[in-house]
Amino acid sequence: MRPGTPGILWTVVRRDLLLALRRKSEVLTSLFFFVIVVSLFPLGIGPEMSLLRIIAPGVLWVAALLAAMLSLNRLFATDHADGTLEQMLLAPAPLGLLVTGKIIAHWLVAGLPLVLIAPLLGLQYDLAPHALGVLMLSLLIGTPLLSLLGAIGAALTLGVRGGGVLLSLLTLPLYIPALIFGAGAVEADISGLGATGHLSLLAALLALSAFFAPWAATAALRVALE
């Protein structure tokens, strides 16, 4: 009996998570990068708490964006190198569904840890508890968006020489709206304006990307595998 959609998704996610556990150094690289970049600014600026509170949303979000980008190269490249992508293309399950499973696994490995550790790092910037909650919520909405948009860039640059640089050039413009609304939500909360509007726009971008990004990444993969 052929497994249903949830079963196929779970199989792909479980497989990618198991592979990630075997390459712990690659997984931890993004997390350590995030921690180091965020921690350097308080050390460089010094105990100027008013200034640290101002720059905190932008610093944390830019660091999260760059950390998520570090792991995009391995989203499809490893499976392409060992022929797994070709097998996925021939599988009876829709390729778009398999790609969606890989994107979910990527977020669980590269995005969710950033969400969980961000409030702890935000304490270095003297952020209030409510602002830390908004930061965590904005990253919880925004990091899946980064994985979805990054999957498009990773698929477009698959097998291309110098693909890492090209991947950055393709994905950075796509990440700008997420950066604006994600950091803007925390800034609005700090200044007392309320973060609802920014979070709503960020959630709308996530919903739109969840619909279109797997389809676009699948189309790019089909072109790359032909």
Single-letter amino acid code for the residue at 197: G
pLDDT given at position 3: 56
How many angstroms separate the Cα of 96 from the Cα of each of 10, 26, 34, 177?
14, 26, 30, 25
Q: What percent of the chain has pLDDT over 70?
A: 96
Sign of CA dihedral 38, 43, 45, 48: positive
Number of domains forming the structure of the chain: 1
pLDDT, tens digit, 9 for 90 and up, residues 89-116: 777 777 888 889 899 999 999 889 999 9
pLDDT at 134 over 90: yes
Buried/exposed 137-147: b ≥16 CB within 10 Å, e otherwise? bbbbbbbbbbb
* Nearby residues of 7 by Cβ (< 8 Å), 6 or more positions away: none
Instruction: Give the span between the Cα atoms of 198 and 79, in whole angstroms.
Output: 36
* Length reported for the chain: 226
Q: Is residue 181 helix, strand or coil?
A: helix
pLDDT given at position 163: 64
Instruction: Give the span between the Cα atoms of 156 and 140, in whole angstroms.
Output: 26
Token pair of 201 as six digits: 């726009």
Burial of 47 (0-12, 13-18, 19+ CB in 10 A): exposed
**Segment 66-90 mean pLDDT:** 80
In terms of phi and psi (left: phi > 0; alpha: psi -120 to 50; beta: otherwise), the region of 128 is beta
Q: Provide the domain limits for residue 177.
A: 5-225
pLDDT, tens digit, 9 for 90 and up, residues 178-216: 999 999 999 999 888 888 999 999 999 999 999 999 999
Cβ atoms 85, 79 nearer than 8 A: yes
DSSP state of 72: G
Token pair of 164 as six digits: 């890492």
